[in-house]
Amino acid sequence: MSYDLIVLGGGPAGYLACERAGHAGLKTLLIEKRFLGGVCLNEGCIPSKTLLYSAKIYDYARHSKKYGITTDHAMLDHKTVVTRKNKVVKTLVGGIRSKLKSYHVDMVDGFGEILGKSGEEFRVQVDNTTYSGKRVLIATGSLPITPPIPGTEDGLAAGHVLTNREILDLNEIPSSLVIIGGGVIGLEMASYFNSAGSSVTIIEMLDHIAGYTDSDIASILMKNYQKKGIQFQLSSKVTAINADGVVYEHKNQQFSIQADKILMSIGRRPVVEGFGLEKLGVELVRGGIKVDETTRTNIPNVYAAGDVNGYSMLAHTAYREAEVCINTILGKKDQVRYHTIPSVIYTNPEVVSLGETEETAREKGLDFDVATVSMRYSGRYVAENEGGDGICKVLVDKQYRHLIGVHMIGNYASEIIYGAAIMMEMEMRIEDIKEIVFPHPTVSEAIREAIFEV
Ligand code: NAI
């Protein structure tokens, strides 16, 4: 059988592309070697959010006195948390499978290998069957980076070094956890395991955590974490891993730290090898597949979406790229606008970043005004966050008077930021934003307040 589209990889990019393609009537095949739903659903976004929600309930229970509630015997039962996590994943994966079926997408569980092109058709093999398609979408995702630090491979094999995959399935809470890399995964996992009772230390190479997050917000987050007992070793480089823990270098001095478990979270790399991609002559850039803003590669009818292009390794970016890919195939004008994609760190408190930070805006020589307000301007924030020290910062282009950046730390920020993304996407002038009525009392009002401060 010949397909209109063969999709390699069933993560957010792959499965959503199939849903949209099937819905539009394209004869579509999805090939997935491991789990439908990919990393996001099975060992990333969804499992981690399920764990973090349990930690949040537990934290509220332990600190409930200040809200007038007494709970004497709050306990976090990690096994039950993991069982529930598995149930959540199963429910969502089942939902995707039935949606794909309803759109008549064919699904093959197996490893797809690209054989090449014959005539106008691409050929992809799974076990002993060869499938042909007019177009191919590469959505093979990414893998954790494992650095050449001595002891890493042995530690991974022995099980005391973990990636985002294994850490979500630990049977018990390690008494001590060293996290290498203070980025998104490191911070989210630190949040859960600290709440669950581990002694957590984050070792970060840079002099700050949370990567490109606004620097004021990153330092508020770090202070919040320190108050909870999480330790940080910044400007520090791990030089060796052994059965007892890690050795690291800080200001040319060597230190060691004991750890039951070590999480390796120093970033991810696109998966571009081992499945015959080279047979198509697809161009790579910085380790990922080079695509234009419509997800087209340099080879006609070969598309790439999601982490495999290495542009913005976020599930919601993958979703958008998938939709743009299908619209492009259908001949509809569409493109990904990367500058208005928000990113979220689902720590407690949550952190959101959208657009330029003060640092990146300055580097680009942009002329902008900035206003920062305390989240305590929001009545609801005060009512629900005893002792909360969140902020909301907005950056506004001086000439055009529209938003170029919005950054927040404080809960519900993850659910609010899309509103700011719409304002940015539509290039609304702040005078127009001032006329929008925000519901009161909501945490979102902090954005409105910040706009009035510019
Ligand atoms: P990351 O890029 O966010 O952070 C890695 C950190 O490790 C950086 O701060 C880096 O400076 C540090 N680092 C690198 N080498 C090091 C070394 N040898 N020693 C100490 N520190 C070192 O990568 P992470 O956290 O692994 O996440 C991977 C990907 O998954 C990211 O692209 C992220 O966007 C995505 N993700 C997104 C989530 C979300 O949207 N909430 C949640 C989890 C992952």
pLDDT tens, residue by residue, 256-273: 999 999 999 999 999 999
pLDDT at residue 285, rounded to an integer? 97
Binding site membership of 407 for ligand 1 (Cβ less than 6 Å): no
Q: How far is the CA of 263 from the centre of ligand 1 (A)?
A: 11
Q: Are residues 217 and 250 in the same domain?
A: yes
Q: How far is the CA of 183 from the centre of ligand 1 (A)?
A: 4
Confidence check: pLDDT of 400 > 80: yes
Q: Of all atoms in ligand 1, which is nearest to the CA of residue 268? A: 28
pLDDT at residue 72, rounded to an integer? 85
Last residue of a domain, one of 266, 297, 327: 266
Q: Are residues 137 and 283 in the same domain?
A: yes
pLDDT at residue 263, rounded to an integer? 98
pLDDT confidence tier of residue 424, bands split at 50, 70 and 90: very high
pLDDT confidence tier of residue 129, bands split at 50, 70 and 90: very high
Last residue of a domain, one of 266, 282, 303: 266
Q: What is the pLDDT of residues 300-349, one digit of tens each?
A: 999 999 999 999 999 999 999 999 999 999 999 999 999 999 999 999 99
The residue whose C-alpha atom lies closest to atom 26 belonging to ligand 1 is 267
Binding site membership of 355 for ligand 1 (Cβ less than 6 Å): no
Q: Are residues 319 and 181 in the same domain?
A: no
Q: Are residues 274 and 138 in the same domain?
A: yes
Compute the average pLDDT of residues 263-284.
97
Confidence check: pLDDT of 203 > 80: yes
Compute the average pLDDT of residues 272-280.
97
Q: Are residues 259 and 289 in the same domain?
A: no
Q: Are residues 356 and 382 in the same domain?
A: yes
- The per-residue pLDDT of the chain, averaged, comes to 97
Q: What is the pLDDT of residues 47-95, one digit of tens each?
A: 999 999 999 999 999 999 999 999 989 999 999 999 999 999 999 999 9
Binding site membership of 132 for ligand 1 (Cβ less than 6 Å): no
Compute the average pLDDT of residues 209-230.
97
Q: Which domain holds residue 446?
A: 349-451
CATH of the domain at 421: 3.30.390.30
Q: Are residues 6 and 102 in the same domain?
A: yes
Binding site membership of 145 for ligand 1 (Cβ less than 6 Å): no
pLDDT at residue 105, rounded to an integer? 98
Binding site membership of 404 for ligand 1 (Cβ less than 6 Å): no
Q: Of all atoms in ligand 1, which is nearest to the CA of residue 144? A: 26
Q: How far is the CA of 211 from the centre of ligand 1 (A)?
A: 8
Q: How far is the CA of 233 from the centre of ligand 1 (A)?
A: 16
330 within a domain of the structure (yes/no): yes
Q: Are residues 229 and 126 in the same domain?
A: no
- The residue whose CB lies within 8 Å of the most ligand 1 atoms, and thus the one to mutate among 266, 346, 417, is 266
Q: What is the pLDDT of residues 4-45, one digit of tens each?
A: 999 999 999 999 999 999 999 999 999 999 999 999 999 999
The CA distance from 209 to 183, in Å, is 6
344 within a domain of the structure (yes/no): no
Q: Of all atoms in ligand 1, which is nearest to the CA of residue 265? A: 26
pLDDT at residue 28, rounded to an integer? 98
Binding site membership of 311 for ligand 1 (Cβ less than 6 Å): no
Q: Of all atoms in ligand 1, which is nearest to the CA of residue 248? A: 19
Binding site membership of 202 for ligand 1 (Cβ less than 6 Å): no
Q: Are residues 51 and 105 in the same domain?
A: yes
Q: Of all atoms in ligand 1, which is nearest to the CA of residue 345? A: 41
Binding site membership of 203 for ligand 1 (Cβ less than 6 Å): yes
Q: Of all atoms in ligand 1, which is nearest to the CA of residue 211? A: 9
Compute the average pLDDT of residues 393-421.
98
Q: Are residues 261 and 275 in the same domain?
A: no
Binding site membership of 266 for ligand 1 (Cβ less than 6 Å): yes
218 within a domain of the structure (yes/no): yes
CATH of the domain at 179: 3.50.50.60
Catalytic positions are: 440
Residue type for 186, please?
G
Q: Of all atoms in ligand 1, which is nearest to the CA of residue 186? A: 25
254 within a domain of the structure (yes/no): yes
- The residue whose CB lies within 8 Å of the most ligand 1 atoms, and thus the one to mutate among 205, 236, 308, 351, is 205
Compute the average pLDDT of residues 99-121.
97
Last residue of a domain, one of 251, 266, 281: 266
Confidence check: pLDDT of 395 > 90: yes
Binding site membership of 344 for ligand 1 (Cβ less than 6 Å): yes
Q: How far is the CA of 187 from the centre of ligand 1 (A)?
A: 9
- The residue whose CB lies within 8 Å of the most ligand 1 atoms, and thus the one to mutate among 184, 192, 246, is 184
Confidence check: pLDDT of 394 > 90: yes
Confidence check: pLDDT of 391 > 80: yes
Confidence check: pLDDT of 1 > 90: no
Q: Are residues 257 and 276 in the same domain?
A: no
Given a contact cutoff of 8 angstroms between Cβ atoms, the answer to whether 219 and 196 are in contact is: no
Total structural domains within the chain: 3
Q: Are residues 209 and 290 in the same domain?
A: no
Binding site membership of 310 for ligand 1 (Cβ less than 6 Å): no
- The residue whose CB lies within 8 Å of the most ligand 1 atoms, and thus the one to mutate among 185, 201, 235, 236, is 185
Compute the average pLDDT of residues 346-365.
97
Binding site membership of 238 for ligand 1 (Cβ less than 6 Å): yes
